[in-house]
Amino acid sequence: MNWLALSDPAAWMVSAAQVIASVVIMTGVLQTLFYFVQLAYAGAALATRPPVARTATLWRRYSEQAPSISVLAPAFNEELNIVESTRSLLALQYPDFEVIVINDGSKDGTLQRMIDEFGLSQVERFVDRSVEHAPIRGFYASPDYPRLLVVDKENGGKADALNAGINCCRTSLFCAIDADSILESDALLRVVRPFVDEPHLTIAAGGTIRIANGCKVDSGRISDIRLPGNFLALVQIVEYLRAFLMARLGLGKMQALTVISGAFGLFRRRHVVEVGGYSHGTVGEDMELVLKLHRLMRDRELPYRIEFIAEPVCWTECPDSVAVLSRQRARWQRGALECFAKHRDMLFNPRYGRIGFVGFSQILLVDVLGPLIEVVGYVLVPLLWALGLLALPWLLAFLAVTFTLGIFLSVATLVLEEIQLRRFPKIGELLVLAAVAVLENFGYRQLSNVWRLQGWWQFVRKQQSWGAMTRKGFATS
């Protein structure tokens, strides 16, 4: 940039355009470099992961030593799926576990369906009061299902329901899931591995979330893995692959994981109670819990590990309409911003080590600045180029960071998936996803950034609602 030319209005406009483009491109390059590092770490994590045993072998090994687990399933207006989901949870392969379904003040017949289907009657339960939640109205259980406990409480939201579950559980570990998700039968056996291998260090572990749209569900199990026909659902499969196989696996390997999905995470109860459980008043309660755990352990200068494991899978239904998806994405964005704002003192704070430098850099680049700067780039860079204020190389560099490098990262994640996990049974499905990885950059990516800006706007206005999340239910065979 020629600073002497600033007195010339035309040169000044060119310089200003170049500054804008530089900021956009540099942010994109930084994001991409961050992703490259994550991809490399994810590759290393998969290449050096412990041998993956068959389920039967795991059962034989863990049957005596695996710690007891309480599976916490908060349910709000889940009348349609709750019985099938609960049956699926009760059929999990794990030596010692309890399923605690928390009816979070549902307005439909969720509780009655559970009572009728499982022959439940009201019981007493001595519960802890360590973490805060809305009042509990009653407990329901049946001698026919000794592993099942239903907690009926006043409505307070998902975090509140999980807190009630934490107070009710009597095991050292609890697994937080969504009641409308499907855990693979050996998911607990697999996700518990770090707690068995490093019992004194591991305080939390997350598993993979996969999209069940298009799959066939039989008796609460995924019986046939298929791709959905809906484009939005297909794009989300690629997004989830990137998020879990690249980002979380990579960050987990770096020990800088900042989020464990609320749909599937295993936690040491004692530490979660010490940080006050899930926070109220945020829609990013899953991310906030992990950040609070990092803070607790770093403040106490205690060694610990928060892990991500690729093998255990939880299947979930993703939105396949623009209206629902936009609400979900805006909410996720708002949740990330709320967590960042609440824990901003951890950013680049040496006290928090790699969480402050790596984990929070990721949030800053990807969640805080990313959508703002990218949308500015979409509007201004092509416009400034069309007005002749930017030369072609600027536009090409912008296209590189927003399109081609994005395509590379998505396809590279697919390559990693195929080499290490090979979860898509048909070749055709892999090719379809490769095509989607290219197409998503033309339209969907831009739309997604607009939704994230909506999340930004909601954050600025301190909006707290979750918004309706309409689900169609799984396709049963």
Question: Whole-number minimum distance, CB 476 to other proteins, in Å?
Answer: 29
What are the backbone dihedrals phi and psi of residue 265, each rounded to the nearest 5 degrees, phi first?
Answer: -150, 145
State the DSSP H helix or E strand holding residue 176, giving kind and residue range, or none if neither: strand 173-177
Residue closest to 6 by CA, chosen among 23, 19, 25? 19
Closest contact distance (angstroms) between CB of 334 and other proteins is: 31
Q: How far is the CB of 183 from other proteins (least distance, A)?
A: 22
Q: Which is nearer to other proteins, 80 or 201 (CB)?
A: 201
Nearer to other proteins, 369 or 434 (CB): 434
The whole-angstrom separation of Cα 421 and Cα 423 is 6
Q: Which is nearer to other proteins, 324 or 397 (CB)?
A: 397
Residue listed under structure tokens 């994640």 = 413
**Nearest residue (CB) to other proteins, 296 versus 432:** 432
Kindly write down the DSSP assignment for every residue of 343-394, as one continuous string: TGGGTT-GGGHHIIIIIHHHIIIIIIIHHHHHHHHHHHHHHHHHTTSS-HHH
Among residues 439, 404, 359, 417, the alpha carbon closest in space to that of 241 is found at 417
Nearer to other proteins, 347 or 415 (CB): 415
Residue 388 token pair: 């002749």
Q: Which residues lie near other proteins (CB under 8 A)?
A: 25, 29, 50-54, 56-57, 60-62, 64-67, 123-130, 170, 195-201, 391, 393-394, 396-397, 399-401, 404-405, 407-408, 411-412, 414-415, 418-419, 427, 430-431, 434
State the minimum distance, in angstroms, from the CB of residue 393 to other proteins: 4
Closest among 326, 285, 367, 324 to 454, alpha carbons compared? 326
Contact in structure between 320 and 221 (CB atoms under 8 Å):
no
Give every CB contact of residue 14 below 8 A, 6+ residues apart in sequence.
Answer: 389, 390
User: 288 vs 417, which CB is nearer to other proteins?
Assistant: 417
Of 6 and 396, nearer to other proteins (C-beta) is 396
**Of 253 and 331, which has the nearer Cβ to other proteins?**
253
Identity of the amino acid at 420: Q
Report the residue number, 75 or 297, with the smaller CB distance to other proteins.
297
Of residues 115 and 432, the one with the C-beta less far from other proteins: 432
* CB neighbourhood size of 304 (10 A): 19
- H helices of 137-208, where? 158-168, 187-191, 193-197
Residue 139 CB, nearest approach to other proteins (Å): 9
Distance of closest approach, residue 77 Cβ to other proteins, in angstroms: 30
CA 429/CA 411 separation, integer angstroms: 13
Which residues are within 8 A (CB) of 284 and not within 5 positions of it... i.e. 6 or more apart?
332, 334, 335, 336, 338, 339
For CA atoms 391, 397, 400, 401, the dihedral sign is: negative
Are the CB atoms for 333 and 459 separated by under 8 Å?
yes
User: From the CB of 80, what's the least distance to other proteins, in Å?
Assistant: 32
Closest CA to 254 of 361, 364, 332, 341: 361
* Whole-angstrom distance, CA of residue 152 vs CA of residue 102: 6
In the complex with other proteins, the residue whose CB is nearer, 131 or 283, is 131
Report in angstroms the alpha-carbon separations of 166 from 73, 304, 362.
Answer: 11, 21, 30
In terms of CB distance, is 23 or 475 closer to other proteins? 23
Dihedrals φ, ψ of 43, to 5°?
A: -60, -45
- Phi and psi at residue 191, to the nearest 5°: -75, -20
The CB-of-202 to other proteins minimum distance in angstroms stands at 10
- Chain centroid offset of residue 350 CA: 26
Instruction: For the CB of residue 431, give the shortest distance to other proteins in the complex, in Å.
Output: 7
Is 278 in contact with 164 (CB distance < 8 Å)? no
CB of 238 to other proteins, least distance (A): 13
